[in-house]
Amino acid sequence: KMWDECLSILKEEVHRDTAEIDLLWHAIFLRHVPLSSVVPEVHEQLQRIRQAWERMGVPIDRVSMDSFEAGHWVAQLGAEVQRLNHLYDAEVDFVFPVRNLCFELEELSGLLSQARGWDSNVDWVVDAMRASGVPFDKLYSEYSVLVRIESSSR
């Protein structure tokens, strides 16, 4: 819960250091997301994610030992996103950066689909955001930006 407390301090102090906030969210993700897979291509991608997070300085204090493919982490991480949004409010974008969170979570969701042979709940990120109280119009707007960014990068 230490990372949650750090987010709380940043919110109260109106500290808008996006790099620091991203770092804290990645540390929160690491509590839930297993970073190894029995599918070699997925395992390699997960290791690249972990290495990128380590280069960013994400404190790796606890890593889930569950199976990535089993997907137990999806419900846990979805519940964590919901809990933290209720604490920090999606309207406080600098502490609960909906676009960044959706981007990161969708990347993990895509890897899960790949690991399971594309047999998974592809809507879990949207479901978690909606259940946490993110208004549909805000979510639609953020996903529209993500689609434009993804389209322009190709």
CA terminus-to-terminus distance, the chain: 38
Regarding pTM above 0.85, the answer is no
75-101 confidence digits (pLDDT tens): 889 999 888 887 776 555 678 888 889
pLDDT per position as a tens digit, 1-20: 677 788 888 887 877 788 88
Instruction: Report the C-alpha gap between 34 and 60 in whole angstroms.
Output: 12
pLDDT tens column, 103-146: 999 989 988 988 887 666 678 899 999 988 888 999 999 999 99
Domain ranges of the chain: 1-152
Q: Which among 3, 104, 63 is positioned nearest to 11, based on CA atoms?
A: 3
The first and second tokens of residue 87, run together, are: 């604490």
Q: Say if CB 32 and CB 76 are below 8 A apart.
A: yes
Distance CA 59, CA 57 (A): 6
